[in-house]
């Protein structure tokens, strides 16, 4: 069960982004889209998927006011997803003496 949850958290936002990109490609890339080229959303989905999804959700209307809060929360979610894996596996690192 734990492996299933880990796989869901790892691939869930990336899969959601790919499906959303297939369903609404104009929202992602183009004149009214969030990005000018396909490279940035691809890299975003690989490395910072929560931030990319939130940026696509709020960017087409322009990012103003409270939109920055939502993008900031997504950045924190990406940081937490990377930091949580390191913290959870800290006992597996040879020579690590942290508490």
Per-domain residue ranges of the chain: 8-87
Q: How much is the pLDDT for 83?
A: 77
Please tell me the least confidently modeled range out of 1-5, 14-18, 27-31, 58-62: 1-5
Stated length of the chain: 99
pTM of the full structure: 0.80
Q: What percent of the residues of the chain are helix, what percent strand, and what percent coil, each to the nearest 5?
A: 75, 0, 25
28-66 pLDDT, tens digit per residue, is 998 888 999 999 999 999 999 999 999 999 988 788 889
């Amino acid at each position: 069960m734990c492996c299933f949850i880990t796989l869901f958290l790892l691939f869930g936002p990336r899969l959601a982004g790919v499906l959303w990109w297939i369903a609404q490609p104009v929202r992602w890339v183009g004149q009214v889209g969030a990005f000018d080229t396909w490279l940035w959303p691809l890299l975003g989905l690989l490395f910072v998927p929560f931030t990319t999804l939130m940026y696509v959700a709020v960017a087409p209307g322009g990012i103003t006011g409270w939109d920055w809060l939502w993008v900031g929360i997504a950045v924190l979610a990406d940081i937490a997803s990377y930091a949580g894996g390191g913290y959870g596996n800290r006992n597996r690192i040879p020579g690590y003496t942290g508490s």
